[in-house]
């Protein structure tokens, strides 16, 4: 794809460097791509090691080839021999950390058209965590502008039409929504949906959605809490029970007395456990173990306490 070239033959300008680019090209001969899709190169600390070793060469085109596409950028290009298409952060790091030359790969086919050069610049950054998504969207928009249609641009760059449309849609967000997206406060999937809402309604729509989502979270949390309580009842929520002893005979002072078993007075009657909150169960137990007089006495007592 790329090829090494004799720097002394470019655009008839004298070049005081070796013909073999493996020896490196002076930074004075390189200029960063004026059409770089990155608005901010960010913190260059991760490239500090370039002072000692360059791990990846920079992709360049000649200044002559670049200016044939954008003659209005001549002042920015100046006397540089090459325009760095991919590797602008490496170039900036080299300047910052004292490296005097960079390895390059020259591929003039990148300068065959504006769309090709812009596409190559964008593709280097797509998917990088530090590449701002709005910068990406603007870069994609710039590439599409160089083709007859969105579909043709996507085909030429090897992108899907849907992906291109989604990125371009982000530019329909209001500045406030774009700032939220860049800060990570707005998810991309939500941003794409909100981009279809009229600009004047985007913020209010987003806030309404946030309020609704928060309410759903609260309701779901309450439902989970209730399910846990039903599955694991604690002492405060457990149903009280009463342990009754079977009795018979006439009540004394209106209270049923224990049954006297003539066959074995020393035998303890079996205990029967019943749910206190279940009236039918209590009634069934009393009916089975009390005389009619005893039941009437209990009824009188209960009635007097209601």
| CATH number for position 152 | 1.10.10.2830
Q: Which of 236, 56, 35 is nearest to 142 (CA)?
A: 35
String of b and e for 219-239 (b: at least 16 CB within 10 Å)?
eeeeeeeeeeeeeeeeeeeee
The pLDDT score that the predictor gives to residue 10 is 43
CA distance linking residue 120 with residue 37, whole number of Å: 10
Q: Do 174 and 248 sit in the same domain of this protein?
A: no
Q: Do 14 and 151 sit in the same domain of this protein?
A: yes
The pLDDT score that the predictor gives to residue 302 is 78
Q: Is 107 within 8 Å of 3 (Cβ atoms)?
A: yes
Q: Do 190 and 254 sit in the same domain of this protein?
A: no
Q: Do 29 and 164 sit in the same domain of this protein?
A: yes
Q: Is 87 within 8 Å of 38 (Cβ atoms)?
A: no
Q: Do 159 and 297 sit in the same domain of this protein?
A: no
The pLDDT score that the predictor gives to residue 39 is 77
Q: Is 116 within 8 Å of 110 (Cβ atoms)?
A: yes
Q: Is 164 within 8 Å of 140 (Cβ atoms)?
A: yes
Q: Do 34 and 95 sit in the same domain of this protein?
A: yes
Q: Which of 171, 199, 227 is the last residue of a domain?
A: 199
pLDDT tens for the chain, 306 residues: list them.
444 444 434 444 433 333 344 458 999 999 999 998 887 787 888 899 999 989 889 999 999 999 999 999 999 999 999 999 999 999 999 999 999 999 999 999 999 999 999 999 888 777 665 678 898 899 999 999 999 999 999 999 889 998 899 899 999 999 999 999 988 888 888 898 899 999 889 888 888 888 888 888 888 888 888 888 887 755 555 555 555 555 454 444 555 555 555 444 445 556 667 777 788 888 888 888 888 778 877 877 877 676
The pLDDT score that the predictor gives to residue 244 is 52
Q: Do 194 and 69 sit in the same domain of this protein?
A: yes
Q: Which of 143, 172, 199 is the last residue of a domain?
A: 199
Q: Do 94 and 151 sit in the same domain of this protein?
A: yes
Q: How many domains does the chain have?
A: 2
Q: Which of 298, 294, 300, 283 is nearest to 249 (CA)?
A: 294
The range of the structural domain enclosing residue 296 comes to: 241-305
Residue 221 lies in a domain: no
Q: Do 64 and 192 sit in the same domain of this protein?
A: yes
Assign 3-class secondary structure to 161-184.
HHHHHHHHHHHHCCHHHHHHHHHC
The pLDDT score that the predictor gives to residue 178 is 92
How much is the CA Rg of the chain, to the nearest whole Å? Answer: 42
For the chain, the residue count is 306
Q: Do 188 and 248 sit in the same domain of this protein?
A: no
Q: Do 105 and 34 sit in the same domain of this protein?
A: yes
Q: Do 128 and 32 sit in the same domain of this protein?
A: yes
CB-based contacts of 242, cutoff 8 Å, min separation 6: 273, 274, 276, 282
Q: Is 133 within 8 Å of 140 (Cβ atoms)?
A: no
């Amino acid at each position: 794809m790329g090829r090494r070239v004799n720097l002394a033959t470019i655009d008839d300008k004298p070049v005081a460097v070796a013909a073999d680019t493996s020896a490196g090209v002076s930074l004075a001969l390189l200029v960063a791509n004026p059409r770089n899709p990155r608005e901010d190169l960010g913190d260059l600390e991760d490239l500090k090691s370039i002072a000692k070793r360059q791990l990846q060469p920079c992709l360049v085109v000649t200044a002559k080839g670049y200016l044939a596409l954008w003659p209005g950028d001549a002042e920015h290009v100046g006397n540089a021999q090459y325009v760095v298409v991919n590797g602008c952060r490496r170039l900036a790091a080299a300047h910052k950390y004292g490296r005097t030359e960079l390895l390059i790969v020259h591929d003039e086919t990148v300068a065959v058209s504006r769309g090709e050069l812009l596409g190559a610049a964008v593709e280097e950054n797509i998917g990088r965590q530090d590449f701002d998504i709005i910068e990406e969207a603007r870069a994609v928009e710039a590439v599409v502008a160089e083709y007859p249609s969105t579909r043709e641009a996507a085909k030429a760059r090897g992108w899907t039409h849907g992906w291109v449309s989604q990125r371009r849609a982000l530019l329909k967000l209001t500045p406030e929504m774009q700032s939220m997206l860049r800060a990570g406060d707005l998810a991309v999937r939500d941003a794409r949906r909100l981009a279809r809402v009229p600009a004047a309604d985007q913020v209010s729509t987003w806030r309404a959605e946030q309020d609704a989502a928060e309410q759903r979270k609260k309701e779901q949390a309450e439902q989970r809490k209730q399910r846990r309580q039903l599955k694991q009842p604690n002492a405060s929520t457990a149903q009280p029970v009463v342990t009754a002893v079977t009795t018979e005979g006439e009540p004394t002072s209106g209270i049923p007395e224990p049954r006297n078993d003539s066959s074995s007075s020393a035998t303890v009657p079996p205990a029967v456990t019943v749910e206190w909150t279940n009236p039918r169960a209590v009634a069934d137990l009393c009916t089975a173990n009390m005389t009619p007089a005893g039941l009437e006495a209990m009824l009188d007592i209960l009635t007097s306490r209601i």
